[in-house]
Amino acid sequence: MRKWPFLKIPKMPKMPKLSQRRLFWGVIGIGTVLVLVFLGILPLVEAAKKMENEIVMKRRLIQKYDEFLQNRKTVEEDLQKTQKRYEEIQQRLLSGATPQLGAAALQEIVKKLADKSGIGIRSFKSLEPKETPPYRKVSIQIEFNPVNNILSLGQFFYDLEHHEKKLLISEADLLVFNIRLPNALQGSVVISGLMKGIKGKESKEKGKEA
């Protein structure tokens, strides 16, 4: 083979050989860094994310609380109106804890209004009470003597339906006593009122008995 004297091939530099000790400590160093990443940095990242979520939730809670404070006056006014309305309704109910006591209170009211209008009542009859949750409806039937003045009877009916207690005329059976005197009326009327109804367990037990 012919040699060319002017051509020289440069020799490759020799790579330094790593000692086993240096290689060992390098591996240890890389392992230590990885351990620090997994045991130190990653938990910190997770904790930071958790704190950010908590901050967002607390900000929302504070916002809702601020909205509640802003609407507090309106809510309190509505509550007062509801309470006042409830008290007004309770005042219009007949007194008494039982249907018998409620019917007695209703009878006393009817008697006073009849005396005021000059209506003579011949008889009173208590009817079976009816449950209309959350109230109880009690009724009495009255028979009155012939009335010569229809205006007096009209005033009696008006006073009943405009009484401070919630009263209503459920039925009315009127007859002309004398065809020659059409203003002379007699008959019977069923008058009803409301009282507090049965609550809770007592209502369920009564329903089972029925």
Task: Please give the Cα distance from 206 to 20 (Å, whole number).
Answer: 95
Task: Please give the Cα distance from 139 to 107 (Å, whole number).
Answer: 9
User: pTM of this prediction?
Assistant: 0.59
Task: Please give the Cα distance from 79 to 114 (Å, whole number).
Answer: 39
Q: Tell me the H-state helices in 92-187.
A: 99-117, 150-161
Residues in the chain predicted with pLDDT less than 70, given as ranges, are 1-48, 177-183, 199-210
Secondary structure (DSSP) of 12-46: PPPPPPPPHHHHHHHHHHHHHHHHHIIIIIHHHHH
Q: What are phi and psi of 139, to 5 degrees?
A: -135, 150
pLDDT value at position 31?
A: 58
pLDDT value at position 15?
A: 47
Q: Are 129 and 99 in contact (CB under 8 A)?
A: yes
CB-neighbour burial class of residue 177 (10 A; exposed 0-12, middle 13-18, buried 19+): middle
Residue 163 is classified by DSSP as: S
Task: Please give the Cα distance from 184 to 146 (Å, whole number).
Answer: 6
State the CATH architecture for 99-203.
Answer: 2-Layer Sandwich (3.30)
- For the chain, what are the domain ranges? 24-91, 99-203
pLDDT value at position 116?
A: 93
pLDDT value at position 133?
A: 86
pLDDT value at position 39?
A: 56
> In which element (H, E) is residue 81 found?
helix 42-91
**Distance, C-alpha 61 to centroid of its chain:** 23
pLDDT value at position 10?
A: 52
